[in-house]
Amino acid sequence: MTCAQNPYNIDCLAKYNGPVDPAIAMGGFLKPGQSLADDPKFNEATAVIITFLVNNHHNKSKLVPAMEWEKKYVEFMKNWTKTKKPAFMDIAYTSERSIEDELDRESQSDVLTILISYIIMFAYIAVSLGQLRSCSRLLIDSKITLGLGGVFIVLASVISSVGIFGFIGVPATLIIIEVIPFLVLAVGVDNIFILVQTHQRETRKPTETHAEHIGRILGQVGPSMLLTSVSESCCFFLGGLSDMPAVRAFALYAGMALLFDFLLQITCFVSLLSLDTLRQTSNRYDICCFIKGSKKDAEQEENSDGILYSFFKYVYTPFIMNKINRAVIMVIFFGWLCLSIALMPHIEIGLDQELSMPEDSFVLKYFKYLKDFLNIGPPMYFVLKGGLNFTQFDTQNMICSGQYCDTDSLVTQVYVASKMSNVTYIGKPSSSWLDDYFDWTSISTCCKYNSSSGGFCPHSSTEKECKTCNIPLLPKYKRPDPGNFSHYISFFLQDNPDSDCVKAGHAAYGQGVNYQMNNKTVMSTVGSSYFMAYHTILKTSKDYYESMRAARKISENITNTLNNKLRESGDNETKVEVFPYSVFYVFYEQYLTMWPDTIKSLGISLLAIFVVTFLLMGLDIFSSIVVVITITMILVNLFGMMYWWHITLNAVSLVNLVMAVGISVEFCSHMVHSFSMSLEPTRRDRAADALVKMGSSVFSGITLTKFGGIIVLGFAKSQIFQVFYFRMYLCIVLFGAAHGLIFLPVLLSYIGSPMNKEKLAKQRNLNGVHIQETSLSRA
C-alpha cells in the first residue's frame, strides 16, 4: 500500500520511469456515492486493472503486428481462464479489436435466423397470391412462379441500388444490408398483391384481350402504385439531407431501391403477370407449365372472391363502419396518441454497448466488471490550440495553477470543475506541463546541455560534454526569462524522469506539447498542447454523452476567459480555442443532437409525402392532410412503444423510424386513393368501399407477409436484433395495420376529401346515374 499512498516513490515508478496512479490501477475501493475527492481507501480495493500498451498507427498495414498480438492475447486468456485460473479469483479481459471481432461473430451467428425469416416471407408470397377454388385446380390457380418473380424483382432492385451507390462511392453499412431488403419487400409485395388481386377480382370483358384486361387493371391501380412509390422515394431521397451518416446512407440506398422496384414492377412484373394469365387460361400447371390440366378442370374456371376479401366485405367493414364503433375507435386512437405524446420526452437516448455483444461474449463480462469495479472514468484532454506566446508572463498566468497564476486560469478552472464532479463529470484534475516545466527548471539536477553543440543532454548522462544548465530564474516569479523559456522547453520535453528528477517531462508530455525548434539557435516555439484529466465513472450512454456536453461547456468557458484576457491586454488579433477530447467522444457526439436530428429527418420525410400526395392526387389537400396525420400518429405511437419496451433512441432506431414512414405510406396511401376515386354517395359509404377494395390486399400484402418473418427474428441470439429489429419491426407492422385498417377508414368517413367531380361527371355521362355529392356535414 506504500505505492498507493505515494506513487512517486522511487521504488514505485514504472519501467518508463513514470508513476502509476492507484486510482487507475486499482478498483472496487469506492463506496456508492463516493468520489476520488473523498480520500479514497486504496487498501479496501477488491480489483486490480492491468493494461498492456501496444503501438497504434494510422496506416492499417502497420497495425498487423498489434492485431496479431491482440488475437493471441485473447486466445491465451480464454484458455488460461478455462484451464488455469485459480478458484479464489475471477478475471475479465478484452482488447481493442475484441468488439469488432465479437460483432463479426454475432452477425455470422444470426445469418441463419435472417435467412429463415426471409424464406418464410418468400414462401408466403409465392403461395398466397393464388386463388383456391378447388383441389383439382390447385396447381393451375396457384401463382408460385409469379410470386417468386415478384420476389426476384425486389432483390434485383436492392442489388441495383447497392451497385449504383457502390460505384459512386457512398459507403454501405450493416444497417443498410439488414433493413433495406425488409423495407423494399414490404413496399414491393404490397403493390404486387394489389395488382394481382385486383386482376383476379375484375373479370375480363368479352371484347377484351388479355393485354387489354391487364392494361385496364393497371390503369386502375397504377396511379395508386405511382403515388406510394414516388412518395416513398422522395421521402427517402430528402432523408439524405440528414446530418447523421447512417441515416443519410440508408435514405439514399432505400430511395433508389424503391424507384427501381416500381420501374421493374410496371414493366417486368406486368409482363410476368401476362405470361402467367396466359398459362392459367390455357389450363396449364404452375411451375410445370408443360403439363396441361383436364377439360373438366378448365370448365370449373370462374372468378370468385377470396375468403379474406369476403371477410372484409361482409363482416369486418360493416362492423368498423357502425356509427357507435366509429366513435369508440376515434376516442381510443386519440387517447392512445395523447399517452404516447406524454411518454416521448422520457425516451432514453443512446445505445448501451452491452446490447451490441452476444450474450455469451467475454466482452460482455468485461463491460459488467467495468461498471462494478472501475473507480475512475476514461482519460480526457483539454486541447489548447496554438497561437499563444508562452514566453510572456501574462500568458503563462492565464494557463498555469501555481503562484502568481490567475485564479481563473485554464488549469484552475479544470481543478474547480473536478470538485463538482457530479455535475461536470471531471473526476480528477488535469496535469499541467507548464507548472511541471517551471518546477523542472528550478531543480539544478534536472537540466543538462552538450557543451560542444549546445544541444540536449539527458540529466542522467555522465558524459564529459554534458554540463549542468543552471537556468537563471527571475526573482519575482521564480520562472525562466523569455529567452531561457524558449531555449529549454525542448530539453524538458525530451528528458526522462527518474529518482533524481521526477519532473522531467518526456514520459508525461512528450506527445502532449507540439513545438517547433530552430536547430541553429536551439530555440523553440510552443504550439498546441493538451492538459490531461479524467472523467468520473461512466456507466450508461447518458453518462457518456452528458460528460461530453459538460466538457464542452467547460472548454467554452475557458476559451471565452482566455480571449477576454487577450482583448483586455490589447491583443485583438490573437484568438485561441480550447476543446475537449476523449476516445469515446466520436461515438457519442451524435446523441447530443439526437432529438433535433430525429425531428429533422422525420419532418423532411413527412413533408415530402405531403407534397407528393398533394400533387399526384390532383391538389387534394384533404387527402394529403389525412395521410400525413395518420403516418404521424403511427410514428408518435411508435415512440410511446419505445418507452414501454425500453428501446433507446439512436441511429439504429432512427433508421427504423424513417423506414416506418415508408411502410406507413403503404398502409395509408392506397386506402386514401381508393377513397378519393370511389363514387359512393356518402363519405361513410366511400370509406367502406375503399376498405373492401384495398383492405384485404393491404392486410395480406404487408401485415401477413411481414408477421411470419418478424416472429423468427425474436429467436435471434443477438440482443440488438431482438431489441431494434424484432420489437420495432413487429410494432411497425402492427401499428401500421391498426391505423391503416381501423383508424384511417373511420377518419375518412368523417373528414375525407369531397367526391371527385370530374370522375362523377364522367360516370353521369356514361350511366345517367345521379350521384349525390357529399359535404363536410355528411359523414
Under DSSP, is residue 49 helix (H, G, I), strand (E, B) or coil? coil
Whether the per-residue pLDDT at 6 is higher than 80: the answer is no
Q: Would you say 498 and 17 are in contact if contact means Cβ atoms under 8 Å apart?
A: yes
**What contacts 640, CB < 8 A, 6 or more positions away?**
336, 339, 340, 341, 343, 344
Q: Would you say 351 and 367 are in contact if contact means Cβ atoms under 8 Å apart?
A: no
Per-residue model confidence (pLDDT) at position 97: 83
Run of H or E residues at 228: helix 210-239
Per-residue model confidence (pLDDT) at position 669: 83
Whether the per-residue pLDDT at 238 is higher than 60: the answer is yes
Q: What is the DSSP code (8-state) at residue 446?
A: S
Q: Would you say 522 and 490 are in contact if contact means Cβ atoms under 8 Å apart?
A: yes
> How much is the average pLDDT of 608-614?
85
Whether the per-residue pLDDT at 734 is higher than 80: the answer is yes
Residue 733: pLDDT band (50, 70, 90) is: confident
Run of H or E residues at 534: strand 523-535
Whether the per-residue pLDDT at 406 is higher than 70: the answer is yes
Phi and psi at residue 70, in whole multiples of 5°?
A: -60, -40
**What contacts 130, CB < 8 A, 6 or more positions away?**
141, 142, 143, 144, 286
Per-residue model confidence (pLDDT) at position 770: 43
Whether the per-residue pLDDT at 88 is higher than 60: the answer is yes
Whether the per-residue pLDDT at 120 is higher than 50: the answer is yes
Lowest pLDDT segment from 5-9, 129-133, 570-574: 129-133
Q: How is residue 21 written as a grid cell?
A: 496512479
Nearest of 364, 223, 289, 368 to residue 676 by alpha carbon = 223
The CB density around residue 684, as the number of other CB atoms within 10 Å, is: 21
Per-residue model confidence (pLDDT) at position 633: 94
Residue 756: pLDDT band (50, 70, 90) is: low
Q: How is residue 238 written as a grid cell?
A: 430528402
Q: Which residues in 313-442 belong to E strands, given as ranges?
A: 379-384, 426-428
Per-residue model confidence (pLDDT) at position 139: 67
In this predicted model, what pLDDT tens digit does every residue of 518-529 receive, in sequence order? 877 778 899 999
Higher model confidence: residue 17 or residue 421? 421
Residue type present at position 250: F
Q: Would you say 358 and 106 are in contact if contact means Cβ atoms under 8 Å apart?
A: yes
Per-residue model confidence (pLDDT) at position 300: 47
Per-residue model confidence (pLDDT) at position 773: 40
Length of the chain: 779
Whether the per-residue pLDDT at 390 is higher than 70: the answer is yes
In the block, cell 406486368 appears at: 270
Nearest of 513, 590, 596 to residue 548 by alpha carbon = 590
Residue 774: pLDDT band (50, 70, 90) is: very low
Per-residue model confidence (pLDDT) at position 7: 74
As a dihedral over the C-alpha atoms of residue 30, residue 33, residue 36, residue 38, rounded to 10 degrees, the angle is -100
Between CA 142 and CA 119 the distance in angstroms is 18
Nearest of 688, 566, 591, 570 to residue 319 by alpha carbon = 688
Q: What is the 3-state secondary structure (H, E, C) of 101-156?
A: HHHHHHHHHCHHHHHHHHHHHHHHHHHHCCCCCCHHHHHHHCCHHHHHHHHHHHHH
> How much is the average pLDDT of 597-609?
88
For the ranges 62-66, 491-495, 697-701, 711-715, the one whose mean pLDDT is highest: 491-495
Between CA 182 and CA 187 the distance in angstroms is 9
Lowest pLDDT segment from 84-98, 346-360, 442-456, 489-503: 346-360
Residue 137: pLDDT band (50, 70, 90) is: low
Residue 514: pLDDT band (50, 70, 90) is: very high
Q: How is residue 29 written as a grid cell?
A: 475501493
Run of H or E residues at 532: strand 523-535
Q: What is the DSSP code (8-state) at residue 570?
A: T
Whether the per-residue pLDDT at 211 is higher than 80: the answer is yes
> How much is the average pLDDT of 229-247?
76
Between CA 439 and CA 446 the distance in angstroms is 10
Higher model confidence: residue 127 or residue 74? 74
Whether the per-residue pLDDT at 297 is higher than 70: the answer is no
Higher model confidence: residue 218 or residue 182? 218
In this predicted model, what pLDDT tens digit does every residue of 532-589 receive, in sequence order? 999 988 888 899 999 999 999 999 999 999 999 999 888 888 889 999 999 889 888 8
Per-residue model confidence (pLDDT) at position 299: 46
Between CA 536 and CA 546 the distance in angstroms is 11
Phi and psi at residue 304, in whole multiples of 5°?
A: -145, 150
Q: Would you say 641 and 653 are in contact if contact means Cβ atoms under 8 Å apart?
A: no
> How much is the average pLDDT of 476-496?
90
Per-residue model confidence (pLDDT) at position 171: 76
Whether the per-residue pLDDT at 421 is higher than 80: the answer is yes
In this predicted model, what pLDDT tens digit does every residue of 270-292 receive, in sequence order? 888 888 888 877 777 777 766 66
Q: What percent of the chain has pLDDT over 90?
A: 21
Whether the per-residue pLDDT at 775 is higher than 50: the answer is no
Between CA 478 and CA 440 the distance in angstroms is 11
With vertex at residue 239, the alpha carbon angle to CA 237 and CA 242, rounded to the nearest 5 degrees, is: 130
Between CA 740 and CA 670 the distance in angstroms is 10
Phi and psi at residue 718, in whole multiples of 5°?
A: -75, 130
Per-residue model confidence (pLDDT) at position 1: 67
Q: What is the mean pLDDT of the chain?
A: 82
Nearest of 753, 717, 677, 707 to residue 220 by alpha carbon = 677
Higher model confidence: residue 513 or residue 309? 513
In this predicted model, what pLDDT tens digit does every residue of 638-672 receive, in sequence order? 999 999 988 889 888 888 888 888 888 878 888 88
Per-residue model confidence (pLDDT) at position 583: 87
